[in-house]
Structure 1
Amino acid sequence: MWSTSDEFDPQRAEVMARGCARPIKTASGVWVRCGSRIKSRCESCAELYRGDWAAIARSGIFDGPVESHRFYLLTLTAPSFGRVHRVPRDEGAKASRCGCGVVHRAKDGGLRGVPLDGATYDYAGQVAWNRDAGVLWDRTRRRLRDRWESVEFFIVREWQERGVLHMHVLLRLERAGAPDADTIRDGARSAVAFSKIDGAVVEWGEQADCQAFTADGNGAKTIWYLSKALNYVLKDVVPDGERAHPMVWAHQAALARAARAMRCSRECVPGDCRKAIHARFGSRSHVVSASRRTPHRPGWSFTGLTRSVQRRLRAEWVARQSEASAPASSAVASPALVAPVLERLADRTRRESRLNAAAAP
């Protein structure tokens, strides 16, 4: 059980001083980081989460025999659910006339992804696709492994402005028999699944891309790109209120209504169900995942690195520090040492951020 308190506590103040915006108190009375993955709630804890996953992503590329593998970055998108405003991302980018009849500029970025006609936009279809995207990815994964048994995955699920998920996937295959990037793209995009809720067909959109890269070439830039995508997925789906166009809020409200009216399972009673999927525009997936090691597969990380392993290593570090600092007459470790180890990890992720920035184009 967890509880929070507004009463001053030196240990709580210490945890906050090291970056956590909303420490929580365990049932044993120890203040620890909140562990939030959303930057607007706690930037420090979200950065720890991003750093853990970035380390796992790098492990699957740089910690093994890279010369015997080929690497790819695959991007898969959702289908269209209606026409949306087209707004360039950069002020100097060439802009074409939007379907609304206006040539938008980058300053109109708050309109990006907003439907041209909310009355005809398929909100129910979009939240249902978010709900069933996991089934579609599972079918895609199976299709790829049926053709190339050695393939391993690292997946980042990112929100588009229209409020639908798309996927960035790092792929690693043994070099012998590895195909070209277009073959992988076409094989993945052609996968089709059926919803476990209503039997509807679930498929990818027309836009898909796959690029091959090498660990000793543009591997660092690819990891930087994924790290940047991780930063995006740790943000709130709801846009910044100061920048958002009024039409954005109408779009968000319509998505929220559609998600509440959607069935999340065969037993779901819309309106009465309190599962988090109804508050996330239909999404039920973790934003990041990777293929795991099994008795028959190496998994994504060459070294078997997972977030569970990282948590265990941090706990072991705390135990060693406790033993070193405890009085000879005491065998009890101080719970206040939890905060310093998390701060040490924050320092590591800040260093990694600087390295990623240096690798950026």
Structure 2
Amino acid sequence: MPVPALNPHAIRGMITRLHDPDYARWAAQIRATGGCRQPIHLRGKVDHIDRATGELLHRYTTRTEPGGVLRVPCKTRRGSRCPACAEVYRADTYQLIRAGLTGGKGVPETVTAHPCLFVTLTAPSFGVVHTRREKNGKVLPCHARRDAETCPHGRVMSCTARHGTEEACLGEPLCGDCYDYAGSVLFNALASQLWRYFTDALRRRVAKLGGLTLRELRGRLTIAFAKVAEYQRRGVVHFHAVIRLDGPDGPASPPPAWATADALADAVRHAASAVSVPVPAVTDEPARVLRWGAQLDIRPITMGGELTERAVAGYIAKYATKAAECVGTLDRRISPLDDLAALPLREHARRLIAECFRLGALDGLADLRLTHWAHMLGFRGHFSTRSRHYSTTLGDIRADRETFVRDEEISTGRLPLFDEDTVLVIAEWEYAGKGLTPGDALLAAALTGTALPASPMDGGGDA
């Protein structure tokens, strides 16, 4: 595992922790967090009291813990902030998505016979950008044009380079002055609304194909979905979705015979082309209408076929832990008072953020909160969502894991066994900080086999 350059302060802190009399208990806490990079520090106690007599049966307090705090995982979904906790979120999302495709976790296995599609909805073009193109395993020129036009800003709109997968120019416009930065930011801000319109239009189209009204459709068929948002290198989001047809009782009942995968694909194509979101004209900005891009990918999900349920679940789970870092922005809020020129941003991301600030200051667009979500390039929706009847929930998956851990602690004697009907549990907790000192970050990485932050100083500090 590569180790970043260490500093004397981190090494001294590591040696001090190793010689701490409470090191064994501290190490046990770190292992319990799974290698969390920024563990939350809690201070408090938990009392178990006999309801009938008022007798204190058991007490846990953080006073005897190293530093007087209990360290628990931060549970973030963002891989850029904490890879360990993001991996747990990814695994949970994988199980949630796969359960809706193959059954399990309360979903019957008969769901595998229901029509199911993997759909990708993209954003329209806001200008020509550098891209990596392949055909039959061969890398093609980026944008080779024999008679390429020269834009109004004097740039030839052509690029003959065969870009590598990690080149910094990918996603950058050939001409930044021609690129529609306002359109890109507004699409991100309204993408969730466009998705909502899409699902409404999808239901209407399915009802029409079945010769039903929307009211009649609810009693005969349910459309279930799970989706995730992914940032493209150019800075706009697109959505990957699993869309499934069920009967009126959800995954436990089959859909009508006429509700086939072909009918669902027809409805998806119609809904994607039919919906739009109008943006009214405001100061210095003309009115516009936002739609999905022309690229629409619809593929059936099959057991053991070209696109398997494992591949789809893995794909969606992977992007559930990502944000806009691939565009070259920061994984934290950015204020209009910040000096954008001094921040470590790609130029394309810098201009998108500046456009968020500009548009966010206009009265007619204040409801989009573009200034608040500038670090996300305007997108303010949930990255992963699911309909009510798709499968289980992340909360249920986490509850099952907590129950398993509690049962294991009881069976090993680390936690006493109490009758929940006769014992009152009183918990008192307060937030006491988060993070690890540079020396603790080094030890935590060694104990759990996780990667260090880019710099040991990024770990934060004990409160």
Q: State the identity %.
A: 29
SS at match of 1:210: strand
SS at match of 1:151: strand
Bigger relative contact order, structure 1 or 2 (CA pairs below 8 A, ≥6 apart): 2
1:116-173: CA deviation from partner (whole Å, max 9, x where unpaired): 1101111111011001000000010111122334221010111111010011111111
Q: 2:390 aligned to 287, 300, 303, which one?
A: 300
1:288 matched to 2:384:
yes
SS at match of 1:227: helix
- Letter matched to residue 294 of structure 2: E
Q: 2:163 aligned to 92, 105, 111, which one?
A: 105
Offset at 1:12? Answer: 5.2
CA RMSD of aligned residues (A): 3.6
Moved more, 210-219 or 73-82: 210-219
Corresponding residue of 1:70: 115
State the distance in 1 between where 2:129 and 2:74 align: 37
Matches within 5 A, 1:122-137: 122-137=180-195
1:208-256: CA deviation from partner (whole Å, max 9, x where unpaired): 011122235456x343244235324524523498xxxxxx811010111
Matches within 5 A, 1:254-269: 254-263=351-360
Matches within 5 A, 1:169-184: 169-173=241-245, 174=255, 176-177=257-258, 178-180=260-262, 182-184=265-267
Distance change (3 Å), C-alpha of 1:116 and 1:203: same
SS at match of 1:234: coil
SS at match of 1:309: helix
Distance change (3 Å), C-alpha of 1:136 and 1:266: farther
Distance change (3 Å), C-alpha of 1:267 and 1:45: farther
Corresponding residue of 1:249: 346
Distance change (3 Å), C-alpha of 1:144 and 1:107: closer
Matches within 5 A, 1:202-351: 202-215=290-303, 217-218=305-306, 221-239=308-326, 249-263=346-360, 275=372, 277-292=373-388, 299-301=389-391, 305-324=392-411, 325-326=413-414
Q: Structure 2: which 5+ runs fail to align?
A: 1-12, 45-68, 144-156, 207-220, 246-254, 282-286, 329-344, 429-447, 449-463
Question: 2:118 touches 2:301 (CA, 8 Å); kept in 1?
Answer: yes
Distance change (3 Å), C-alpha of 1:202 and 1:322: same
Offset at 1:107? Answer: 5.6
Corresponding residue of 1:30: 70
Offset at 1:24? Answer: 1.0
State the distance in 2 between where 1:39 and 1:90 align: 31
State the distance in 2 between where 1:70 and 1:306 align: 21
State the distance in 1 between where 2:97 and 2:138 align: 32
State the distance in 1 between where 2:158 and 2:365 align: 38
SS at match of 2:94: helix
SS at match of 2:390: coil
1:3-32: CA deviation from partner (whole Å, max 9, x where unpaired): xxx996755543434321221113434311
Offset at 1:327? Answer: 6.7
Corresponding residue of 1:144: 202
Question: 2:231 touches 2:326 (CA, 8 Å); kept in 1?
Answer: no
State the distance in 2 between where 1:32 and 1:91 align: 48
Question: 2:100 touches 2:111 (CA, 8 Å); kept in 1?
Answer: no
Greater Rg, structure 1 or structure 2?
A: 2
Q: 1:168 aligned to 240, 245, 251, which one?
A: 240
1:96 matched to 2:141:
yes
1:14 matched to 2:33:
no
Q: TM-score, normalised by structure 2?
A: 0.59
Distance change (3 Å), C-alpha of 1:89 and 1:75: same
- Letter matched to residue 197 of structure 2: R
Question: 1:185 touches 1:209 (CA, 8 Å); kept in 2?
Answer: no
- Letter matched to residue 80 of structure 1: S
Offset at 1:316? Answer: 2.2
Corresponding residue of 1:187: 270
Question: 2:116 touches 2:261 (CA, 8 Å); kept in 1?
Answer: no
SS at match of 2:140: coil
User: Which structure is higher in helix share?
Assistant: 1
Distance change (3 Å), C-alpha of 1:38 and 1:179: closer
1:241-295: CA deviation from partner (whole Å, max 9, x where unpaired): 8xxxxxx81101011111223339978759x9863x2221011112111111xxx
Moved more, 169-178 or 190-199: 190-199
Question: 1:12 touches 1:23 (CA, 8 Å); kept in 2?
Answer: no
